[in-house]
Amino acid sequence: MRNITILFSCFITVLVVAFADMRPAFADHGVTAQEASEMGTMQAMKDFVLNVKASREALDTNEEHAQFRDAMRTDGSDWKYGNTYIIAVNPGTSRNYKAGEIVTFHAEHPLATDKSLRHIEIFRNLMTKVYMLGEGEDAACVEDKTGTYGNHICAAKTTLTNERGFTNDVISVVGFHHEADEASAEKIQCPDLGDEYFGEPGTDPDGMQFTRTSADMVTDRESLKNYLKTVEELISDRIEQITMVPGFEELGPLQKGAFITQGLVLSRPCWRKEPWTSGEIYFYLIRYARGAGAATQHGIFNGLSPQFEDTTLLLYDGCTDVGQTVFQILEENPDGFLEYYWSNPVKTDDRVADASGNPIRGLSPGTSVKLGYFLTTNFRGGTQTNFVIGSGIYPEDQEYYVPESGVCQDIPDYLTETARQHLDKFPKAPEQEEDDGGCAIASGDQGNLKVAGFNLLLITLVTFFAVSRKSRLKG
């Protein structure tokens, strides 16, 4: 009888998987990446970038943008074929950065995010041309006669819109191909906080004092908490500085949100450097959105890797569904601790990755025990909703953890068959017994690299920075 029940359960799961994997198609606006690559003409590449522009501008919900960004990263899709792929860069509306000095999305090299390509002459020439586009002109192109960075390279200003009507401009680039190490961080301009900043007292939003702590000062729970409170203060102060710029109060809500967002985008590269990142210590910024069922965890910034940004994070570590557990803790508390498995930046032998070294959809990227600390914040009222910032330390000589309940959570339905085949890489406590649940079947192509919609820092934050009032995490 038990076997019949399991068999029936597996049958139902197969049906669910089969239908869950059906994805809506995007509107056909013209030339695809493969067609542009095979035609090999300037007009074909221009038509491709106009296809990108028209397709992205036709989308008006976060879910549609989520699917599109996923498609842009997928080899063999309409949007990525060989060395023909999409890059998005800043439009050059900031006084500090010209067009193309900050990469906001990269389909081929995720680690190029927040870096610059403008130092490359052919790319700089393209940015100058697209920035100078006049009324009625929709795209600009250049030809690289050396073939070093492609052949025909085109770009178009693209306006992204969500269901609330909030917009953000980016420049879409196609036909430009470069090596990963050619993206430069030289343009990053980070403020000098001075030698006396850290170690001095700060005040959190509740009026409580803490000791300002840099990443290299973190050694235990208390210093970890102080580090995150320092990060919270840093971002809150930055938002306040942005809002004090002359003329800010004359802007409408949408313009205010866009202005704040752009300022934070330009700050993001600094968060990957000292004093905010050191060795195994870094911080992340996420947002939860509750839909039908469990909450969705959106990665906005991650000091470990941009691969965990602009994504929906589904992260199971062989015992704990990390994202959902953090959400459950924060439903009842303003902050909390959690042990889980994760990759340690200073190690190379704890990775859980595919043959190409990429994170596996749905799984934690490593097997080291991490003690995570996280808190909710609206940055002193600078945002309309609460965000979550978090960090963690890696206890020495701890090979495994035991969940507080004493029992591992069930394997999530979202894990694909590929992900399930890697579950044995995660450590097991001696008292834990392996249990595959009786039906290890993939439940669709979901996971930690599925896009969450728009560039989440460029668009989601616009939505919530537009109004300066508090909202609850559950809201």
Is 259 part of a structural domain of the chain? yes
Stated length of the chain: 475
The span from the CA of 113 to the CA of 106, in Å, is 6
From 128-142, 248-262, 342-356, the region with the lowest mean pLDDT: 248-262
**238 and 151, same structural domain?**
no
pLDDT tens digits, one per residue of 282-304: 999 988 876 545 677 778 889 98
**397 and 267, same structural domain?**
yes
Average pLDDT value for residue range 61-71: 75
Q: Are 314 and 288 in contact (CB under 8 A)?
A: no
**472 and 351, same structural domain?**
yes
**358 and 414, same structural domain?**
yes
Domain stop point among 182, 211, 229: 182
pLDDT at 433: 54
Containing structural domain, residue 219: 198-475
What's at 321, amino acid-wise?
A: D
**299 and 358, same structural domain?**
yes
Is 5 part of a structural domain of the chain? no
Is 177 part of a structural domain of the chain? yes
The continuous run of DSSP H or E covering 260 comes out as helix 253-271
The span from the CA of 175 to the CA of 365, in Å, is 31
The span from the CA of 342 to the CA of 338, in Å, is 12
**364 and 228, same structural domain?**
yes
Question: How does strand 284-290 pair with strand 295-302?
Answer: antiparallel
Is 174 part of a structural domain of the chain? yes
Is 249 part of a structural domain of the chain? yes
Domain stop point among 126, 148, 182: 182
**173 and 220, same structural domain?**
no
**208 and 171, same structural domain?**
no
Is 474 part of a structural domain of the chain? yes
Is 12 part of a structural domain of the chain? no
**400 and 254, same structural domain?**
yes
Nearest residue to 368 (alpha-carbon basis) of 398, 402, 408 = 398
**177 and 217, same structural domain?**
no
Cα-Cα-Cα-Cα torsion 458, 289, 233, 382, nearest 10 degrees, comes to 70
What CATH number is attached to the domain comprising 121?
3.30.450
pLDDT tens digits, one per residue of 137-186: 899 999 999 999 999 999 999 998 877 677 778 999 999 999 999 999 87
CA atoms within 13 A on the CB side of 12: 7
The span from the CA of 391 to the CA of 409, in Å, is 23
Average pLDDT value for residue range 428-433: 76
**357 and 468, same structural domain?**
yes
Q: Which two tokens stand for residue 74?
A: 């997928």
How many independent structural domains does the chain possess?
2
Is 447 part of a structural domain of the chain? yes
Q: For the chain, give the percent of residues with pLDDT over 90.
A: 51
pLDDT tens digits, one per residue of 174-232: 999 999 999 998 777 788 888 789 999 999 988 899 999 999 999 999 999 999 999 99
pLDDT tens digits, one per residue of 370-380: 999 999 999 98
Average pLDDT value for residue range 277-281: 96
What CATH number is attached to the domain comprising 373?
3.30.450.20
**307 and 257, same structural domain?**
yes
pLDDT at 38: 96
Domain stop point among 153, 182, 211: 182
pLDDT at 432: 65
From 240-244, 422-426, 429-433, the region with the lowest mean pLDDT: 429-433
